[in-house]
């Protein structure tokens, strides 16, 4: 039979269960878009910028069904999307990147958009595909999907030459998709027994859980309770363990963590690390102390022991490893002895004191962050989805907002893209039309992608965008205070969010004091539930630093040589005196 390449792309995507694609049509993919427009199961979403498309696709993969999928033009479309592709790559998020390609049946070079896209994508994807004949298109897309979603997930790139899209070619059949299940890595029984013995004899075991543990939340809870061990999470892994559980300590556990986590992990002598690479953010710029008795579980063997040596390394899916470890621990885990420490009471008291500290902070006429997050938690159902960006608001949310659902919190992490939250919230809402979705974004990050709210309006996507509006790139501005005593290129000036709402078709609400928080957020959610995007302009008070900011700045400063420290301090003092 004969089919066009565009027909084959549509067929393959329908077979693997793609529901939305994101991108912008151009001369190298219009045939694909025409086919997608005829699909009964796939809805192509037009975006304002391919970077936004990639963040939307990322969110679909994190909290939706199926895999987030891009359909973009070559060269400029792909390079625009590369920030979101890179975010997915470093964060372990599956994504299909389908890109048009220049004609490969001509003798001419220097065609429009012609570049080596595979060389460009090689460092941002798990693999790239370049089908040269019609018969290769469907198998390539099926294999790309298996690779993207298998093992440690990540993006996969497929370039479809435009001549294959336009013209008909011979294909032997139209195969149905049959997932090639990866061979399950068997857990090393001896390593499991060794890990169990370490944990049983430990006086103060702890658990550090990352995004890779999200599919094993029940087992995570069971092991924590068996061991009476505190649980800290990475930034990306915040939602893998419910913050309502009395053993939940906070994000991270070192000098950059909240007091509850610092107290809970004091003198930790054995650590189970699950689905985390010990990267810079969750470790507070590598400021944590990792005990010799480290049990490191990760599906990616390269991550095990990469930053901190592991006494026991287990290359396995988190669920498989934790199930085996739970069985090996049995019932005699030493929990009774650890109960005497009163760990749960320590965590509860430290959390209560930290909240008191924030509540008593004088925010003047601005909105106290704790007031905002308490109001949001009161108005947002437990299964609501919170999407944050990169900035000071990220760590405020991590420290002050209680997340109670496994898919309740997503954010950029290791690639750390500003501009993530606005488009990602749109993708999350498209994937979960029956759930409330709230983006929390700083004004600097918001200006990068705020026009994607046009995409929300076009598609009747009712998400709430809470913009922490203080006129600065506050996370960096705060970090500049000690070494520089001035703010260089971090002052934004006035941003007319009402004008943005008018331009994008969103509703505009202003939140200027603590007393209005409940009322304004309730109103925003009600409007969004009627399929209209809402911008909430929050006059936030950033004057009090998060535990993360204070701890990380101190950790980095301590690493400087003595001469550099003196130079920084002397310069800051001189500028303070002279102005």
- The string of pLDDT tens digits covering residues 264-320 is 999 999 999 999 999 999 999 999 999 999 999 999 999 999 999 999 999 999 999
By the 8 A CB rule, do 468 and 390 touch? no
For residue 566, how far is the Cα from the chain centroid? Answer: 37
Number of Cβ atoms within 10 Å of the Cβ of 108: 8
Give CA 75 to chain center in angstroms.
26
Pairing mode of beta strands 385-388, 409-410? parallel
Contact 480, 490 (CB under 8 A): yes
State residue 102's pLDDT score: 80
**Sign of the Cα pseudo-torsion (174, 177, 178, 181, in order):** positive
User: What are the tens digits of pLDDT across the range 147-201?
Assistant: 999 999 999 999 999 999 998 999 999 999 998 776 667 788 999 999 999 999 9
Averaged confidence pLDDT in the chain:
93
Q: Judge residue 72's burial from the number of C-beta atoms within 10 Å of its C-beta, 0-12 exposed, 13-18 middle, 19 or more buried.
A: buried
Number of CB atoms found within 10 A of residue 178's CB:
9
Residue ranges of alpha helices (H) inside 291-442 are 318-329, 335-339, 343-359, 369-379, 392-400, 421-431
Provide DSSP, 38-85.
T-SS-EEEE-SSHHHHHHHHHHHHHHSSS-EEEEE-TTHHHHHHHHHH
- Spatial separation of the C-alpha atoms in residues 98 and 138, rounded to whole Å: 12
Q: What is the pLDDT of residues 506-547, one digit of tens each?
A: 999 999 999 999 999 999 999 999 999 999 999 999 999 999
What does 116-180 look like in DSSP terms, one character per residue? Answer: -HHHHHTTTSSEEE---SHHHHHHHHHHHHHHHHSSS--EEEEEEEHHHHHSEEE-S--PPP---
Structure tokens at 222: 């069971």
Strand-pair category, 231-233 with 155-161 = unpaired
Q: Are 104 and 131 in contact (CB under 8 A)?
A: no
Residue 229: both structure tokens together: 């061990």
Among 92, 90, 79, smallest CA distance to 24 is for 79
Q: Which two tokens stand for residue 62?
A: 């994190």
Give the H or E element holding residue 248: strand 248-251
**Residue 3 backbone phi and psi in degrees, to 5:** -140, 150
pLDDT of residue 336: 86
Confidence of residue 554 (pLDDT cuts 50, 70, 90): confident
Q: Put residue 335 in one of left, alpha, beta given phi > 0 → left and psi -120 to 50 → alpha.
A: alpha
Structure tokens at 337: 């002895």
Domains, the chain: 2-170 (3.40.50.970), 189-348 (3.40.50.1220), 362-548 (3.40.50.970)
- Nearest-angstrom CA–CA distance, 463 and 534: 6
- 54-63, 299-308, 329-338, 359-368: which has the minimum mean pLDDT? 329-338
pLDDT at 182: 65
Read off the pLDDT of each residue in 80-104 and give the average, rounded to a whole number.
95
**Three-state SS for 386?**
strand
| Angstrom distance (rounded) from CA 354 to CA 400 | 9
Residues listed for the chain: 579
- pLDDT at position 470 is 82
What is the reported pLDDT for 186? Answer: 77
CA distance 74 to 242: 42
Reported pTM: 0.94
Q: Provide the CA 491 distance to its chain's centre, in angstroms.
A: 26
């Amino acid at each position: 039979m004969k089919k066009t390449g565009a027909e084959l792309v549509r067929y393959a995507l329908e077979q693997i269960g793609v529901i939305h694609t994101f991108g912008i049509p151009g001369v190298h993919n219009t045939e694909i878009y025409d086919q997608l427009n005829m699909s009964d199961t796939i809805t192509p979403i037009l975006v304002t910028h391919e970077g936004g498309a990639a963040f939307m696709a990322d969110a679909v993969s994190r909290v939706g069904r199926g895999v987030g999928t891009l359909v973009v033009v070559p060269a400029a479309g792909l390079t625009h999307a590369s920030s979101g592709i890179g975010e997915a790559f470093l964060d372990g998020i599956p994504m299909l990147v389908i890109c048009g390609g220049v004609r490969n049946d001509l003798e001419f070079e220097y065609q429009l958009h012609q570049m080596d896209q595979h060389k460009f994508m090689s460092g941002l994807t798990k693999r790239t595909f370049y089908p040269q004949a019609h018969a290769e298109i469907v198998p390539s897309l099926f294999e790309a999907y298996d690779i993207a979603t298998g093992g440690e997930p990540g993006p996969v790139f497929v370039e479809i030459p435009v001549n294959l899209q336009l013209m008909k070619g011979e294909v032997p059949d139209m195969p149905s998709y049959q997932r090639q299940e990866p061979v399950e890595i068997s857990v090393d029984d001896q390593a499991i027994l060794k890990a169990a013995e370490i944990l049983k004899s430990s006086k103060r075991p702890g658990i550090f859980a990352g995004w890779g543990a999200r599919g094993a939340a029940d087992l995570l809870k069971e092991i924590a309770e068996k061991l009476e061990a505190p649980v800290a999470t990475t930034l990306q892994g915040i939602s893998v363990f419910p913050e309502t559980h009395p053993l939940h300590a906070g994000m991270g556990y070192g000098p950059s963590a909240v007091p509850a986590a610092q107290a809970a992990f004091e003198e930790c002598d054995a650590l189970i690390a699950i689905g985390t690479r010990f990267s810079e953010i969750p470790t507070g710029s590598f400021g944590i102390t990792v005990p010799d008795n480290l049990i490191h579980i990760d599906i990616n063997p390269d991550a095990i022991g990469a930053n901190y040596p592991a006494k026991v390394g287990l290359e396995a899916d988190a669920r498989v490893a934790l199930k085996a470890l739970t069985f090996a621990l049995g019932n005699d885990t030493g929990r009774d002895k650890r109960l005497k420490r009163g760990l749960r009471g320590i965590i509860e008291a430290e959390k209560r004191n930290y909240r008191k500290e924030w509540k008593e902070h004088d925010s003047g006429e601005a909105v106290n962050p704790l007031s905002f997050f308490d109001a949001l938690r009161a108005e947002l159902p437990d299964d609501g989805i919170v999407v944050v960006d990169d900035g000071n608001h990220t760590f405020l949310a991590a420290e002050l907002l209680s997340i109670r659902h496994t898919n309740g919190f997503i954010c950029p992490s290791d690639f750390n893209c500003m501009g993530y939250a606005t488009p990602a919230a749109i993708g999350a809402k498209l994937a979960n039309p029956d759930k409330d979705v709230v983006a929390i974004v700083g004004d600097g990050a918001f200006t990068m992608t705020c026009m994607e709210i046009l995409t929300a309006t076009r598609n009747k996507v009712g998400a709430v965008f809470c913009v922490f509006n203080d006129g600065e790139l506050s996370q960096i501005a705060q970090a500049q205070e000690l070494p520089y005593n001035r703010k260089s290129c971090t002052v934004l000036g006035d941003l007319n969010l009402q004008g943005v709402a008018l331009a994008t078709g969103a509703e505009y609400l202003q939140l200027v004091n603590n007393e209005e928080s409940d009322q304004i957020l309730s109103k925003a959610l009600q409007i969004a539930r009627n399929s209209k995007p809402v911008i909430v302009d929050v006059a936030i008070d950033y004057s009090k630093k998060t535990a993360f900011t204070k701890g990380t700045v101190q950790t980095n400063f301590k690493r400087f040589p003595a001469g550099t420290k003196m130079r920084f301090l002397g310069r800051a003092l001189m500028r303070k005196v002279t102005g």
